[in-house]
Chains A and B, each alone.
Chain A
């Protein structure tokens, strides 16, 4: 089924027919990169289209996802959270149980196989929290490829355990001091490396962002989350959920969960952006709720920016959500009204972190805790007979120092 591009704001017949050949989701996406990179992003698009359609590639990827990553991840009925909120049944999709502790490995496994298929011999990546850096370093170790991870100097300081993990895995972590020295600057620096080393280097982007084909490719690789959720939900409840929700940084875990449900209009899709100190302040990371469309890092999307179009710094307790943009498919799903984007503050997310630990015995990543912070509202709105699935995108061991700090404790 192919759908004509909708007029702005109109709903398409088939949401899964996007992006178009130019990498556009409505007005969003595209390939805004320097000319030096254009032949590469075209090659990458062709290589991904071929790999995606190749049963041998899919079989190889599937094998690693099963035996190395540990898929499928469980869909777990969170009985005590459900009772606590007194609304819809709450299920958790347990992506935190994947190897390396988050959904990021789903994407890395697919892209490293693609990189090798393309004959690339050097891998670079950007990372904020370090979760994508760790996942990239992991697959590079597994397949014996050299790995350079760019990380904002500020993030290197606040995510030291992950820096050490990357080093143990044989990756070189390069602190980035330019700009605001956080995730967006790490991405700038990775792009600069790529443009300098085009002949042998593969840029393994960690979210459903960047120039086409990355938003599509990363979504395709993360869509395993939503596909499994569908099957598991049918097996456990015999029906689809009423709502699925996920935190949104660049948007990869959310789009991976959403995508297999896009054409099921009865399933509400809810993303949760990081509100930092609050949406009434300028210290947040909510690109859709607090930004406007523009161009950064290769695509047109919602961005935090000043009135001149200079990108402003994002602020969140969660390094993984601390990014001034959002993947272009989310920008489009927001505009056409198919998905809803809520926000959660630092404090709300910390409370949700503690609640999940105490009621379910699960330490969620502080990123995932942003979605948890809104799950009560959604569960109550959906109501007693309903079902809500929340993507627990990562585990919270990496965040215990941050949480302790906010509780005024030393560990």
Chain B
């Protein structure tokens, strides 16, 4: 099912002539029950694809928002097993929305790549992004994921030149994630004009859809990225909503999902009036 779910979603959106909106949330943030409520609400709020972070104690590529989200989740006892539980529960009501896990290598090493790939696929995971596992180190993981038919989504960045791009896209499937800024998540802002030629370059080299993330916080920014990319990813801005809702004692899932709605709407409208790509 796995790779097929991602491919089907991108094909359908291409037919609609619009980009995907990808919502990133952290498993177990602020607690498992609320995270599940958010997760289950994401497709209805307009998320075309879900990225679910699994928390790690030392997330070296994250800015403060996602660092804090991971700490909140870990403080409430979230684990990788707990993350797969959330995915299983999500799949009870949603069989169509692609779900990508995103995190760091060490919890996967602890689980064992082969067993994890099997268990993740069985839970309903379609793809995996491992921030600190570049192609040079990824072969054992890629072997395990291939055997379980789970996509290993690769990252291309502003430092990826054409030579490097060939290495990056080796053994990738589903889509390629273009990191729009050199930096950590949730700090710098992405610029659509600057990103556009890179998206084109990655698309050409890989033959896959290209999602852009790391520097998108507002509906306006999401819309401008959605005009040039196949998907716009928003993460830090969503986990910040979790933090604020907790601080203000508000309904966390309602607040997050309303943010998702406004972002998804902006992405849907982005190409209206433009000729379909």
Interface size on B, residues (CB 8 A): 45
- In contact, B58 and A305 (Cβ under 8 angstroms): no
Binary interface profile of B, 104-141, with partner A (CB < 8 Å = 1, else 0)?
11111111000000000000000000011110110000
A200 to chain B, nearest CB (A): 11
Chain A residue with the shortest CB-CB distance to B177: A35
Q: Which of A26-34, A95-103, A151-159, A314-322 contacts B (4 or more CB under 8 A)?
A: A26-34
A1 to B159 CA separation, bound complex (whole angstroms): 36
B59-80 interface with A by 8 A CB criterion: 59-64, 67, 71, 74, 79-80
Kindly list chain A residues whose C-beta atoms are within 8 Å of the C-beta of B245. Answer: none
Chain A residue with the shortest CB-CB distance to B157: A36
B225 at the interface (CB under 8 A from A): no
Binary interface profile of A, 181-195, with partner B (CB < 8 Å = 1, else 0)?
000110010011001
Kindly list chain A residues whose C-beta atoms are within 8 Å of the C-beta of B55. Answer: 310
A299 to chain B, nearest CB (A): 10
A305 to B188 CA separation, bound complex (whole angstroms): 32
B206 at the interface (CB under 8 A from A): no
Chain B residue with the shortest CB-CB distance to A311: B57
Binary interface profile of A, 382-405, with partner B (CB < 8 Å = 1, else 0)?
000000000000000000000000
Once A and B bind, how many residue pairs between them come within 8 Å at the CB atom? 121
Q: Which of B18-26, B179-187, B191-199, B260-268 contacts A (4 or more CB under 8 A)?
A: B179-187
Chain B residue with the shortest CB-CB distance to A36: B157
- In contact, B159 and A40 (Cβ under 8 angstroms): yes
Whether A311 touches B179, Cβ cut-off 8 Å, given contacts A39-B161, A178-B67, A179-B57, is no
B158 at the interface (CB under 8 A from A): yes
A298 at the interface (CB under 8 A from B): yes
Chain A residue with the shortest CB-CB distance to B59: A188
- In contact, A192 and B60 (Cβ under 8 angstroms): yes
B70 to chain A, nearest CB (A): 10
Whether A310 touches B74, Cβ cut-off 8 Å, given contacts A32-B132, A192-B61, A294-B106, is yes
Chain A residue with the shortest CB-CB distance to B79: A308
Kindly list chain A residues whose C-beta atoms are within 8 Å of the C-beta of B108. Answer: 309
- In contact, A35 and B155 (Cβ under 8 angstroms): yes
A34 to B157 CA separation, bound complex (whole angstroms): 9
A46 at the interface (CB under 8 A from B): no
A32 to B187 CA separation, bound complex (whole angstroms): 22
Chain A residue with the shortest CB-CB distance to B64: A178
CB contact between A192 and one of B109, B179, B184 (< 8 Å): that residue:
B184
- In contact, A22 and B136 (Cβ under 8 angstroms): yes
Whether A297 touches B60, Cβ cut-off 8 Å, given contacts A32-B133, A35-B157, A36-B158, is yes
CB contact between B134 and one of A35, A195, A303 (< 8 Å): that residue:
A35
Kindly list chain B residues whose C-beta atoms are within 8 Å of the C-beta of A47. Answer: none
A30 to chain B, nearest CB (A): 5
B168 at the interface (CB under 8 A from A): yes
- In contact, B56 and A39 (Cβ under 8 angstroms): no
A58 to B111 CA separation, bound complex (whole angstroms): 45
- In contact, B74 and A33 (Cβ under 8 angstroms): no
A50 at the interface (CB under 8 A from B): no
Binary interface profile of B, 77-88, with partner A (CB < 8 Å = 1, else 0)?
001100000000
B164 to chain A, nearest CB (A): 6
B156 at the interface (CB under 8 A from A): yes
Whether A305 touches B63, Cβ cut-off 8 Å, given contacts A35-B156, A196-B182, is no
A307 to B74 CA separation, bound complex (whole angstroms): 13
- In contact, A295 and B164 (Cβ under 8 angstroms): no
Kindly list chain B residues whose C-beta atoms are within 8 Å of the C-beta of A178. Answer: 64, 67
B1-57 interface with A by 8 A CB criterion: 55-57
A199 to B159 CA separation, bound complex (whole angstroms): 9
Whether A32 touches B158, Cβ cut-off 8 Å, given contacts A178-B67, A192-B63, A196-B187, is no
CB contact between B58 and one of A34, A196, A197, A311 (< 8 Å): that residue:
A311
A56 to chain B, nearest CB (A): 29
B114 to chain A, nearest CB (A): 16
CB contact between A31 and one of B56, B60, B134, B187 (< 8 Å): that residue:
B134
- In contact, A31 and B58 (Cβ under 8 angstroms): no
B258 at the interface (CB under 8 A from A): no
A267-318 interface with B by 8 A CB criterion: 293-298, 300, 303, 305, 307-312
B203 to chain A, nearest CB (A): 17
A185 to B154 CA separation, bound complex (whole angstroms): 26
Query: Could you show 30 A-B contacts with beta carbons less than 8 Å apart?
Result: A22-B136, A33-B132, A34-B134, A35-B134, A35-B156, A36-B157, A36-B182, A37-B159, A38-B134, A39-B159, A39-B160, A39-B161, A179-B58, A185-B58, A191-B60, A192-B60, A192-B61, A198-B182, A199-B182, A295-B132, A296-B58, A296-B106, A298-B132, A307-B110, A308-B79, A309-B106, A309-B108, A309-B111, A310-B56, A310-B57
Interface residues of A (CB under 8 A from B): 22, 30-40, 178-179, 184-185, 188, 191-192, 195-199, 293-298, 300, 303, 305, 307-312
* Known contacts A307-B110, A309-B109, then 8 further A-B pairs from the complex at CB < 8 Å, ordered by chain A residue: A32-B132, A34-B132, A35-B155, A35-B159, A188-B60, A295-B132, A308-B107, A309-B80
